[in-house]
Structure 1
Amino acid sequence: MVAEWDGRPAAFAQLVERRVTFVYVHPDAARLGIATLLYHHLEDEARIQGLDELVTEASLVARDFFAFLGFEVDGEESVQRQGISLPRTRMRKRLA
């Protein structure tokens, strides 16, 4: 899913099965609520599909955003990308 702002792509989000794989907002469009709107659309889609939970692996930057949305920490891990270790947090949210 892609959101436009001022006639240009400003953000995108992706749901694959029960996993929120991407939520990204261009810095020029940050703090406008676009990511929250995109996420709520993904959550609505998950409910339509009958999913009972969502999971994600949040970066340090995204962890607070997902916590704000009701996700809970499920563990910490680190992944390697081109020889660089990146910490991330496994998180999950139960859908009622």
Structure 2
Amino acid sequence: VDNDDIYQIRTRGDGPTGKLPINEEQLREAPSGDLFGLTQSAGMGWDPDALGGDPYLILNTHGGVRAPDGTPIALGYHTGHWEIGLLVQAAAEVLKAKGRVP
């Protein structure tokens, strides 16, 4: 490996700023999955202040969708789902460059 920077692994980082839109009643009565979903969404980059809206599920095999600058547009179950589209694109470009039909 020509670049030793790949061995500099970041294991810690700042958490999201803001406050989750939950109240005392939700802490007592809401299903734990709802509360987990809020923390997971904030942790993946969604603005905590915007998490109080009505949630919708967009079911697909790609997972989440992000903007070119990396900000979330729609969340998947983990941030790795965002990279699936990039991996498929890279593989398709290599195949096409080799004269294959991806």
Q: Which has the higher helix share?
A: 2
The structure whose RCO (Cα within 8 Å, separation 6+) is larger is: 1
Task: Give me the TM-score of the superposition, normalised by structure 1.
Answer: 0.26
Q: Which one has a bigger Cα radius of gyration?
A: 2
